[in-house]
């Protein structure tokens, strides 16, 4: 259990973390999200007492980190994969850290095997790739077999096999009753890994809720429906029937319909009644990425501007169906991948995801002074 109360960190005039209070409970993987520069790393550093809070405090199982009787046996942390001396061999590095808390030497070989570095144990870490460094960092965190684990961007630099492994590792650690706090920018990964989310922006708490709840609060799912191409009027008939039943509809380039506001069995029944044969009826989950982007829009610190040259590239705009009068366009649907396709947002505003980052930038409102995440 990690508990932060009124945690604040200022660097000069800049407030990196602002009155942050939250609890991270055991038995769950808790995702820690926020845009670049929102204060995630600073918060994690304060949890393990590397930085002193300007005010407020954070405790682990009821005690400040520095007062834990054997910190390494209670808390393991991966904050920076490159935080090793490059001239030292991997095993010697782990051994020196293990010895600090009287952890037996055989545990070092155990964690090396856990992260798959046993063959590189005798290599100097200077030659490690980012992925290998990341694995070494995870091994360091696991050394004390701790009850509380912190991971800052653990999948950075890992290959897909490694990403999959980390995902399963996090879940298993949590299922053993440990407290696991993971920060990441990869929403797809977070959606698969985290049960609970803590979202911050500009150092302030934006959300502290279950992942599903978070997605439900901040986005909507949709269904993709395609009438048989052989049926000429099928699409229009279907569209009309669905609209009448209260569904909201957008048309995709390949002729499929994107339906919100209706359940799959309902759509199926409506199609059946209208005598339309369906060639596709697939559910699309709302994505965490979308929900996250919606929530943090106003607190993005480093906003890229539109590359003037990028204007040459225009995504194929989605056509507005004839039976829909409001001017709307749905974004292109990515065909594969982690990032579930973004549905049109609630309130008639389509979510402006993959097609136009410039809009997102302007949507963030008045540009405010930027604060580096780490000003030291």
Q: Which of residues 81-100 bind another protein (CB under 8 A)?
A: 82-89, 92-93, 95-100
Among 264, 298, 317, 323, binds another protein (CB under 8 A): 264
Q: What DSSP line would sit under 294-360, residue for residue? A: HHHGGG-SSPPPPPGGGGG--PPPPPPPTT--S---PPPPP-SSSSPPPPPPGGG-----SS-HHHH
Residues 222-241 close enough to bind another protein by CB under 8 A? 224, 226, 228-229
Compute CA distances 289 → 169, 211, 338, 354, whole Å: 22, 11, 10, 11
253 binds another protein (CB under 8 A): no
Which tokens belong to 374?
């780490």
Q: Closer to another protein at the Cβ: 326 or 336? A: 336
By the rule CB under 8 A, 66 interacts with another protein:
yes
Least distance CB 231 / another protein (angstroms): 10
Rounded distance between C-alpha atoms, residue 149 and residue 156, angstroms: 17
Query: What 3-state DSSP class applies to 244?
Result: helix
As a whole number of angstroms, the distance between CA 331 and CA 241 comes to 24
Closest CA to 278 of 324, 237, 331: 237
Does position 318 interact with another protein (CB under 8 A)? The reply is: no
Which position among 5, 279, 329, 350 is part of the footprint of another protein (CB under 8 A)?
279
For residues 326-355, which are near another protein according to CB under 8 A? 334-339, 353-355
Q: Least CB distance from residue 326 to another protein, whole Å?
A: 25
What CA–CA distance (Å, rounded) separates 278 from 184? 39
Choice between 250 and 291, CB closer to another protein: 291
How far is it, in rounded angstroms, from Cα 107 to Cα 304? 45
4, 103, 205, 249: residue in contact with another protein (rule CB under 8 A): 103
- Cβ 282 to another protein shortest distance, Å: 3
Interface residues for another protein in 113-172 (CB under 8 A)?
Answer: 113-117, 119-120, 129-132, 135, 140, 142-147, 153, 156-165, 167-169, 172
Site mask, another protein, residues 283-312, x = CB under 8 A? x-x---x--xx--x---x-xxxx-x-xxxx
Taking the complex as a whole, the smallest distance from the CB of residue 325 to another protein amounts, in Å, to 29
- How many other C-beta atoms lie within 10 A of the C-beta of residue 131? 17
- Our CB check for another protein shows the closer of 253 and 322 to be 253
Query: Which CA distances in Å does 347 have to 187, 219, 220, 242, 328?
Result: 24, 11, 11, 18, 12
Nearer Cβ to another protein, position 281 or 319?
Answer: 281
Size of interface with another protein, in residues (CB under 8 A): 152
DSSP class of 196: E
d(CA 120, CA 85): 15
């Amino acid at each position: 259990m990690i508990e932060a109360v009124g945690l604040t960190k200022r660097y000069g005039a800049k407030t990196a973390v602002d009155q942050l209070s939250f609890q991270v409970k055991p038995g769950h993987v808790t995702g820690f999200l926020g845009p670049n520069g929102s204060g995630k790393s600073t918060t994690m550093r304060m949890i393990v007492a590397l930085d002193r809070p300007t005010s407020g405090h954070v405790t682990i199982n009821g005690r400040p980190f520095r007062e834990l009787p054997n910190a390494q046996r209670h808390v393991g942390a991966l904050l920076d994969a490159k935080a090793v001396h490059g001239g030292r061999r991997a095993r010697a590095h782990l051994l020196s850290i293990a010895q600090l808390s009287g952890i037996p030497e055989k545990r070092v070989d155990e964690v090396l095997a856990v992260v798959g570095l046993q063959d590189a144990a005798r290599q100097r870490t200077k030659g490690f790739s980012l992925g290998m460094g990341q694995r070494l960092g995870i091994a360091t965190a696991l050394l004390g077999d701790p009850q509380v684990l912190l991971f800052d961007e653990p999948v950075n630099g890992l290959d897909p096999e490694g990403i999959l492994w980390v995902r399963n590792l996090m879940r298993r650690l949590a299922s053993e009753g440990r407290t696991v706090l993971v920060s990441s920018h990869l929403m797809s990964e977070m959606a698969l890994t985290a049960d609970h989310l803590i979202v911050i922006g500009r150092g302030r708490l934006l959300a502290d809720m279950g992942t599903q709840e978070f997605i439900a609060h901040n986005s909507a799912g949709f269904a993709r429906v395609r009438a048989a191409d052989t049926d000429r009027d099928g699409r229009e008939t279907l569209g009309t029937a669905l609209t009448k039943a209260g569904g909201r509809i957008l048309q995709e380039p390949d002729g499929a319909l994107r339906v919100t506001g209706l359940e799959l069995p309902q759509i199926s029944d409506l199609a059946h009644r209208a005598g339309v044969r369906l060639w596709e009826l697939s559910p699309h989950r709302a994505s965490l990425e979308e929900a996250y982007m919606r929530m943090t829009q106003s607190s993005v610190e480093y906003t890229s501007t539109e590359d003037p040259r990028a204007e040459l590239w225009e995504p194929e705009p989605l056509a507005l169906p004839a039976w829909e009068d409001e001017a709307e366009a749905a974004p292109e649907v990515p065909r594969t991948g982690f990032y579930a396709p973004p549905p049109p947002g609630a309130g008639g505003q389509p979510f402006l995801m993959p097609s136009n980052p410039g809009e997102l930038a302007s949507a963030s409102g008045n540009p405010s002074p930027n604060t580096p995440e780490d000003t030291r």
